[in-house]
Structure 1
Amino acid sequence: MEDAKPLPNLSLEEQRVLGSLIEKSRTTPDYYPMTLNSLTAACNQKSARNPVVNYDEETVTLTLDSLKIKGLISKATGGSSRVIKYKHNLGIVYPLIPSELSILCLLLLRGPLTPGEINSNAGKLYEFDSIEEVLDQLIKLSEGEPAFVKQLPKKTGQKESRFIHLLGEQSEIQETNQQAPETTIFQPNEALENRILRLEKEVEDLKEMVNLLMDK
């Protein structure tokens, strides 16, 4: 029996670029594959990202080159546009189904998450029937060969265990930010915070749509 293909050790920049490509392939399929401009904007989104970054196009280009060497992205050619576009190959290199790709996408873009957080943040990526389905997928991803995720031990104050991907290094900022709401004594108004997050997401969606239209 053929040995399972080992997982790549992705840098934080590679994780962000790959995660953004996976996300947009699901959420904006009409504008996928992606141009360098739209991909850079996707990496730098302020919503649905942890941590928030500010990559320039040179950083994204160099990262695309390294991902191409690893076989995880490719250039898309053809059609009426002469602009170079990019697509991910993660689901080709490894036998991953849409639900599994969606979970990995969230972990790449947001850092450690609980099954409940994955279920609530999946959005247009994949419609899970329940948290139990998410947990089933996480168990499958953690027990396969190779394992794509692992469960972190609970820390003081945490109600649920979080999961991380095993595709490369983890940012300390990600885990610290995820823990902060549980250790903060004075919590902000949840309804107001959710409204702000929704407004930020709407602004980012509008910016993304403008960038995509300019690329057409």
Structure 2
Amino acid sequence: MTLTHPDSLTLTPNEARVLGTLMEKARTVPDSYPLSLNSLMLGCNQKSSRDPVMDLTEADVASALENLMALSLVRANNAGRVTRYEHNFQRGVGVPEQSAVLLGLLMLRGPQTAAELRLNTERWYKFADISSVEGFLEELQDRSAEKGGPLVIKLARAPGAREQRWAHLLCGSVDETQFAQSGSARGADGSPSNLARIEQLEAEVAQLKATVLMLCTELGVSATAPGVAQT
């Protein structure tokens, strides 16, 4: 089943990954934000907290940045020796902070339930409860045509799952068949199981290691120096 998407804004997968990565790093590593082209490429290609995992080149990232700047979703800062990039998603798309956070996570990690989104957004924004997450998702789904149309869609319930997942529409229509899953990684209530929580913690550790490596690259420090974490 293919679902309708907003015609006013359609990103490529590469553009969505670049934009989502900028949105993530602005909140999780503010001291190293805005990002250089190299740091942004590392963030796009990290193995943790990404679905799917991608292998973008600098040329891929640069091309995506050019298109995103044309859409006023990204800005370049040329004040220093190295050009750095920052997102302008919230203002560019015209959504509140909470909605921007949810869209950013959906761009980076693919379809998720409201419970998963609440868990995964903790480092970005702390939602009071799952109902709050659902409220903002429903607003994004009911977005009027005058504002560009819906930005998310609630997918059909997957086999074995009690909760439905949400997907973003920023890259166009969604083919639900490609997101079919057994639901084995979820608990009986549709929230992440213990295994999924362990995987989440492992992913966060991997992301911290990737951040250290990124900072070492920026500072010109060897990541093999004593006391420096390695990926």
1:54-112 Cα deviation digits (max 9, x unpaired)? 1121111111112122221110132xx31000111111212222211110011101111
The answer for the alignment partner of 2:151 in structure 1 is 148
Tell me whether 1:69 sits opposite 2:73 in the alignment. Answer: no
- Look up the SS of the partner of 1:150 in the other structure: strand
**Paired residues of 1:35 and 1:85 also in contact (CA < 8 A):** yes
Q: How many angstroms apart in 2 are the aligned matches of 1:131 and 1:123?
A: 12
Q: How many angstroms apart in 2 are the aligned matches of 1:22 and 1:43?
A: 11
**Paired residues of 1:51 and 1:173 also in contact (CA < 8 A):** no
Q: Would the alpha carbon gap of residues 192 and 101 (structure 1) be closer, same or farther in structure 2, given more than 3 Å must change?
A: closer
Decide which structure has greater helix share: 1
Q: Would the alpha carbon gap of residues 111 and 123 (structure 1) be closer, same or farther in structure 2, given more than 3 Å must change?
A: same
**Paired residues of 2:106 and 2:167 also in contact (CA < 8 A):** yes
Question: Which of 158, 163, 183 is 1:160 aligned to?
Answer: 163
The answer for the alignment partner of 2:190 in structure 1 is none
**Paired residues of 1:19 and 1:108 also in contact (CA < 8 A):** yes
- Look up the SS of the partner of 2:119 in the other structure: helix
**Paired residues of 2:161 and 2:183 also in contact (CA < 8 A):** no
Q: Would the alpha carbon gap of residues 83 and 172 (structure 1) be closer, same or farther in structure 2, given more than 3 Å must change?
A: farther
Question: What 5-or-longer segments of structure 2 have no aligned partner?
Answer: 1-5, 187-192, 220-231
- Look up the SS of the partner of 1:113 in the other structure: coil
The answer for the alignment partner of 1:208 in structure 2 is 211
The answer for the alignment partner of 1:108 in structure 2 is 107
**Paired residues of 2:72 and 2:88 also in contact (CA < 8 A):** yes
The answer for the alignment partner of 2:60 in structure 1 is 59
In the alignment of these two chains, the number of paired residues is: 203
Q: How many angstroms apart in 2 are the aligned matches of 1:114 and 1:151?
A: 9
Q: Would the alpha carbon gap of residues 127 and 71 (structure 1) be closer, same or farther in structure 2, given more than 3 Å must change?
A: same
1:170-201 Cα deviation digits (max 9, x unpaired)? 5889725xx244399xxxxx656644552343
Q: Would the alpha carbon gap of residues 209 and 100 (structure 1) be closer, same or farther in structure 2, given more than 3 Å must change?
A: same
The answer for the alignment partner of 1:199 in structure 2 is 202
Larger deviation: 146-155 or 165-174?
165-174
Larger deviation: 145-154 or 116-125?
145-154
Larger deviation: 89-98 or 29-38?
89-98
Tell me whether 1:99 sits opposite 2:87 in the alignment. Answer: no
The answer for the alignment partner of 1:175 in structure 2 is 179
Question: What 5-or-longer segments of structure 1 have no aligned partner?
Answer: 185-189
Instruction: Report percent identity of matched pairs.
Output: 33
Tell me whether 1:50 sits opposite 2:27 in the alignment. Answer: no
Q: How many angstroms apart in 1 are the aligned matches of 2:75 and 2:97?
A: 19
- Look up the SS of the partner of 1:182 in the other structure: coil
Larger deviation: 154-163 or 37-46?
154-163
Q: Would the alpha carbon gap of residues 171 and 210 (structure 1) be closer, same or farther in structure 2, given more than 3 Å must change?
A: farther
1:14-58 Cα deviation digits (max 9, x unpaired)? 111111011111111121111111111111111111011111211
TM-score (norm 1): 0.83
**Paired residues of 2:159 and 2:182 also in contact (CA < 8 A):** no
